Amino acid sequence: MLVDREGMWFRVLTARYGDGGGGIEDGWFGEHISKKLGDGSNTFSWTDPWLDEIPLCERYGRLFDLAETKSVSVTEMSLLGWGAGGVAWVWRRQLRVWEEEMLGEC
């Protein structure tokens, strides 16, 4: 339901309770429903708000723009190794020094 906004349950709940006018996070739905990270297989590392309620694509927009793979799950990133030198990070070009520092923060 959190992923498929055209699905039946999403349509039923928004028809009944509304979507708050500003999107899924606002209004009744956002106040009563939350997503748990779990094992991370259904959570996208860049685009889902799984860390501090802000998606990494917003917090680290420059890195997101440079990332080759934008729709990878938290589990996949973890398995590939997202630490220093991990192969989870694939960039369109070599990162500049300040971008490397941003990656370290990320």
pLDDT digits (tens, 9 = 90+) for 29-84: 667 666 677 788 888 889 988 777 889 999 999 999 999 989 889 899 989 888 76
CA dihedral (14, 16, 17, 21) positive or negative: positive
Q: Give dist(CA 25, CA 34) in Å, integer.
A: 9
The reported pTM is: 0.65
How far is it, in rounded angstroms, from Cα 103 to Cα 100?
5
C-beta contacts of 78-84 below 8 A and 24+ residues apart: 78/40, 82/45
Q: Map out the domains of the chain as residue ranges.
A: 1-34, 56-105
**Can you give the pLDDT at residue 33?**
66
